[in-house]
């Protein structure tokens, strides 16, 4: 696997969680798996046990008119035999941030060059060390050029002749689009930059399009998202036609969660343990959560509605802003942990100020606090405009917190509407991206809150769902078997 992130070494989002968990599950199934990521400045080499790794042969890669050196450090995923290799070059990765400069909040100006170098160096490293590997699995636009390098530059020389390529789209909204002149630094002929070519996309060079065209198989992170990104420009971001052309090679596989870390009976980050059969500890976590957010004199009979999210339109904050003032006239509490758009933050701050005894917001992200929020809240809100997979709805159900979600992407695949006639369902959903529909879904959830027997049934249904990585890993193994040996 080649990616830009891997927990616990480097993380900016959900991609890091996937690369930190999936290889371990594959190893448990008998797959020999290695991971390649950049050697960022933030990775503490000694702490994680990384040591210099001697690469046989040349450690130079072509880069435009230049040839650049790379270095390699080797370690392992904690608790596994999964090898992790760090590809280093201080010109590109000796910086404070992964994707953007934390001092300015903006992408690095040489973003294209950073990932071109990493793609070329990673492919050359794999050639030297793993020439007979069955599958190379790349992720998102940061590693999207590798399938093209394999097919265009290596298979014709006999290297990787029987190696299949898999490419996973984690979020189609971030495609890696750069000026036309980038193509020659990437090693391709400028003559190939023409409309409908694998490299051209409305006048720019699109890394993700290259990965989609050249990979043997494409996966994305939920079955519904795999369908959505082919159906409309809203979800496909103008790549829907390219994706439809590869529809027979496009597979949606739902992400899993780490059930060892997210375990209500053995979570050191919550106040009291509990399980689906014995829920008394959830009340203690609710008390601790309300105190943490300055609502110490709260009424524990009122439901706590929570959100943990990047504050962004994609996450449905325009819908929340439209209903929050009115929602807080009810007997309930609202708690938010997250940061993002400053204008939205400012508005939410004024709403919370109008309801100081019912609403509390912390504009930050704290991993430990996110566990307590899942354990202590009663209803979790995810009104996303689009959501390729989503993890918090799975954490919520596992922690006995009932999700209210928009039925899109992975939210649609993981949360089912509660049906009082059958007693089936794990949460509440709405379809149209509209504040009225969002509010109606919340009201449906709140209507069942006073009925403690029914509420307990919904909670227990969610807690007993299987969102472990083992199920997802089996589906990835099916993909690998499909592409292994493809030429």
- The pLDDT score that the predictor gives to residue 101 is 84
- At 247 the pLDDT is 97
Tokens of 341: 């758009």
Q: Please name the residues in contact with 441: beta carbons below 8 A apart, sequence gap of 6 or more.
A: 404, 405, 428, 429, 430
Place of tokens 């504009």: 363
Per-residue pLDDT averaged across 121-148, rounded?
96
Angle at 414 between CA 358 and CA 368, to 5 degrees: 50
From 69-78, 243-252, 337-346, 424-433, the region with the lowest mean pLDDT: 337-346
What pLDDT score was predicted for residue 58? Answer: 81
Mean local confidence (pLDDT), 349-370: 93
pLDDT interval class at 486 (50, 70, 90):
low
pLDDT above 70 covers a percentage of the chain that reads 99
Res. 203: pLDDT tops 70: yes
Say what the pLDDT of residue 35 is. 98
Among 159-163, 179-183, 267-271, 482-486, the least confident range: 482-486
User: What does pLDDT average to over the chain?
Assistant: 95
The DSSP bridge pattern shows strands 217-220 and 164-169 to be: parallel
**Mean pLDDT within 321-338:** 97
What six digits make up the tokens of 153? Answer: 């530059």
Tell me what the mean pLDDT of segment 430-444 comes to: 98
Q: Where do the domains of the chain lie, and which CATH numbers do they carry?
A: 14-256+470-483 (3.40.50.2000), 280-467 (3.40.50.2000)
- For residues 91-117, give the mean pLDDT: 91
Q: Is the pLDDT of residue 487 over 90?
A: no
Q: Report the pLDDT averaged over residues 159-163.
A: 90
Percent of the chain at pLDDT exceeding 90: 89
């Amino acid at each position: 696997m080649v990616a830009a992130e891997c927990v616990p070494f480097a993380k900016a989002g959900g991609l890091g969680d996937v690369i930190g968990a999936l290889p371990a599950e594959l190893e448990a199934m008998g797959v020999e798996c290695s991971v390649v990521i950049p050697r960022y400045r933030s990775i503490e080499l000694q702490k994680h046990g990384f040591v210099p790794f001697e690469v046989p042969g040349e450690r130079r890669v072509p880069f435009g008119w230049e040839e650049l050196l790379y270095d390699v450090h080797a370690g392992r995923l904690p608790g596994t035999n999964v090898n992790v290799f760090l590809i280093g070059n201080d010109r590109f990765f000796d910086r404070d941030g992964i994707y953007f400069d934390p001092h300015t909040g903006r992408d690095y100006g040489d973003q294209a060059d950073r990932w071109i170098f990493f793609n070329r160096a990673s492919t050359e490293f794999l050639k030297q060390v793993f020439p007979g590997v069955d599958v190379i699995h790349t992720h998102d636009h940061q590693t999207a050029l590798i399938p093209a390098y394999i097919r265009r530059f290596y298979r014709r020389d006999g290297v990787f002749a029987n190696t299949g390529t898999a490419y996973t789209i984690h979020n189609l909204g971030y495609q890696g689009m750069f000026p036309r002149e980038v193509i020659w630094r990437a090693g391709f002929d400028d003559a190939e930059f023409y409309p409908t070519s694998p490299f051209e996309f409305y006048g720019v060079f699109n890394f993700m399009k290259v990965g989609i065209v050249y990979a043997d198989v494409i996966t994305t992170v939920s079955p519904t998202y795999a369908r959505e990104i082919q159906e409309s420009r809203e979800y496909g971001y103008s790549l829907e036609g390219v994706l439809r052309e590869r529809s027979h090679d496009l597979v949606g596989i739902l992400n899993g969660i780490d059930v060892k870390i997210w375990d209500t009976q053995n979570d050191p980050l919550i106040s009291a343990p509990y399980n689906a059969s014995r829920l008394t500890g959830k009340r203690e976590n609710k008390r601790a959560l309300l105190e943490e957010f300055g609502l110490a004199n709260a009424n524990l009979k009122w439901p706590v509605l929570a959100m943990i999210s990047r504050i962004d339109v994609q996450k449905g904050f325009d819908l929340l802003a439209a209903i929050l003032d009115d929602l807080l006239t009810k007997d309930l509490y609202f708690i938010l942990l997250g940061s993002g758009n400053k204008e939205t933050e400012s508005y939410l701050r004024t709403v919370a100020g109008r309801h100081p005894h019912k609403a509390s917001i912390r504009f930050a992200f704290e991993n430990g606090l996110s566990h307590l929020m899942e354990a202590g809240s009663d209803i979790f809100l995810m009104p996303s405009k689009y959501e390729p997979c989503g993890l918090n709805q799975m954490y919520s159900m596992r922690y006995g917190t009932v999700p209210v979600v928009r039925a899109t992407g992975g939210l649609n695949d993981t949360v089912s509407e509660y049906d009082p006639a059958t007693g089936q369902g794990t949460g509440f959903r709405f379809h149209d991206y509209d504040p009225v529909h969002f509010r109606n879904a919340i009201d449906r959830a709140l209507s069942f809150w006073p009925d403690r027997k029914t509420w307990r049934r919904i909670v227990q249904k969610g807690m007993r769902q299987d969102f472990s990585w083992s199920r997802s890993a089996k589906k990835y193994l099916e993909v690998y078997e499909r592409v292994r040996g493809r030429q």
